[in-house]
Structure formats: structure tokens, C-alpha cells
Structure 1
Amino acid sequence: MSLYVILLSLHNIVRWLVLLFGVLALVRTLPGLGGRRAFGATERRVVVMFMSSVHLQLLLGLLLFAYVGMQNIPAFADAPRAGFRWEHVGLGVLIAVFATLANTLSKRAASDQGKFRAAAVWTGLALVLSLAAIPWWRPLLRLFTT
């Protein structure tokens, strides 16, 4: 089994963790926008889990991108657009920035409602971009195959 297959499989698996933790973060933060709840440890934890999974996904993606470039593997040869490879990388970086903003701004906000707002808005934006960055024409679950 090649390093390419391992990285590609891990990148695929972590994608589902990103989506799961992102949805979980929204489920925990959206109800708090009404201002009647405290932003507690559970909300903090899911926002951090989302950000961490996004950062892991970006790291795996960049390692995969570098490996593909060094080995001259035709990445995204099956893409519907020629520039999808660069869109995918750019969106991955932007998603990581948005997930980091969700965590950082929700920590720094003065009020609980501000914490909920920052976490919900930036997590929501990161999730929308995540859905746009996924190569939906490929297998949804790729376990150690090409």
C-alpha cells in the first residue's frame, strides 16, 4: 500500500469527522443565539473539536498535495473543472481560517450571546465552504483504495 493511498484514505475519513463536528457545533451553538443560555464547556469543546478536525484535514490535504506533486500523480484528473485542484486547496485554507475564527472569536467575545454568534456564524461559513470543496463525484468513503 502506497503513501498516496494511505494519505488519500485518511483525508477521506477525516472529511466525515469535519462534517460531523461542524454539524454538532452548529446544533450546540445555534439555539444559544436567543440569549437565554450560557456558553459552556460543551459548546467550547465542540467548537474546538471542529477546528481541530479541520486543521487535521488541512494538514493531511497539504501532505497529499505535496506527495502528488513530487510523484507526478494526476490529482483531480477526473474533476469537472480544470481548476478544481486549486479551488480545493484554497477552500481548505479558507475553511481552516473560518474554523479558527469560530474558536478564537467565541473565546474572546464579552457576552455569551456574542460567543454563540461568533461560533455559529464562522462554523456555518466553514461548513458551507466544506460542502463546496468536497469532490462529490468521487466515492463517498474510500478505505485504502485508489
Structure 2
Amino acid sequence: MYPILLTVHSVFRWVVLVSLCYSIYLGITGWSRKKTFNKSADFIRHATATIAHIQLMIGYILYFNSPIVAYFRAHFKEAIRQFDFLFFGLIHILLMTIAIVFITIGSAVAKRKESDNEKFKTMTIWFSLALLLILLAIPWPFSPLANRPYFRAFHE
């Protein structure tokens, strides 16, 4: 089960990134061009938040079943000195949780704004902050923090 979820989490990150980037693009164009925040824009706002929440739930399941995190918790004083354990035991989950909180706030506040321009502006700002955190917290293959491949293949 763990390897399957790890693969799903790895692949689903691209869905999160694409939906978030599209939402930000939609927000910027809507905000700058004073467009109407129509049902389509509202659907994209809501879908992006939902996709991010699904990814976070998968991430939490992985976190509490991860051998890396189990080692980190059991051997905290030793593990905190090894950056790979620190990254997955603390940094990754903390930054991703904060990012999803930003998406949730941005989505909820944008939904309740009166003007269309304020809806686009709110969505753009909060989703952009979340994207920045997500990009920092992903273990990219080139990352000096912790690195993993672009796609994790399922191996049992």
C-alpha cells in the first residue's frame, strides 16, 4: 500500500502544480483585465483547493506510514542532524501544510469577496504564496534540500 500511495503522491503533485498555476494565471488575467469572476473561474478556484486537499491527505497518510519519518521520530536527536531525515520528518510536511492553509484561506476569502476584481486579486495573492512554498518544499531532483526523481515508479 505504501509504495502505491508514494507513486500516486508523486504523480498527483503535477496535477496540483498544473491546477495551481492555471488558477494563478486565471487570477492574474482576471485581475489585470477586470474580467467577470464567472462560474468557470469559481469552479477552477474550488477545484484547485480540492485537488490540493486530496494531495495533502495522501501526504499525511504517507507521513504517518513512512519509514523515514518513523526513524526521525524514534531517533530524533540523531535524525535531526541528517538533513534528509529533517526534510521529510519536519520541513516538507510543515511547508506543505502551510501552503494548503494558504490555498484554503485564499479560496474561502475570494469566494466571499464582493467585487470580481477583489476575488481575482485575493485568489492570485494567496495561491501564489502557496505555490512558492510548494516549489520550495518539493524534493526536486536538483534540490539541495532533499531530492527525489520527478516521478516515483511503483516498486514493491
TM-score of the aligned structures, taking structure 1 as reference length = 0.87
State which of 22, 32, 36 in structure 2 corresponds to 1:34: 32
Match of 1:67 in 2: 65
Matched, 1:83 2:93: no
Per-residue deviation, 1:115? 0.3
Is the deviation greater in 28-37 or in 16-25? 28-37
Contact 1:15-1:57 within 8 A present in 2 as well: yes
Paired residues of 1:12 and 1:142 also in contact (CA < 8 A): yes
- Quick one: distance in 1 between partners of 2:13 and 2:87? 17
Residue 143 of structure 1 corresponds to which residue in structure 2? 153
Q: Aligned partners of 2:61 and 2:95: how far apart in 1?
A: 16
Whether 1:131 aligns to 2:135 is: yes
The Cα offsets for residues 69-95 of structure 1, whole Å up to 9 and x where unpaired, read as 599477x9xx85542121101011111
Higher RCO structure, 1 or 2 (CA under 8 Å, sep 6+): 1
Would you say 1:56 and 2:59 are equivalent positions?
A: no
Given that residues 110 and 118 in structure 2 are in contact (C-alpha distance below 8 angstroms), is that contact kept between their aligned partners in structure 1? yes
Q: May I ask how many residue pairs the two structures share in their alignment?
A: 143
What runs of 5+ residues in structure 2 fail to find an aligned partner?
A: 73-78, 141-146
RMSD: 2.6
Q: Percent identity?
A: 30
Q: Distance in 2 between matches of 1:5 and 1:94?
A: 25
Cα gap change, 1:8 to 1:20, in 2 (>3 Å): same
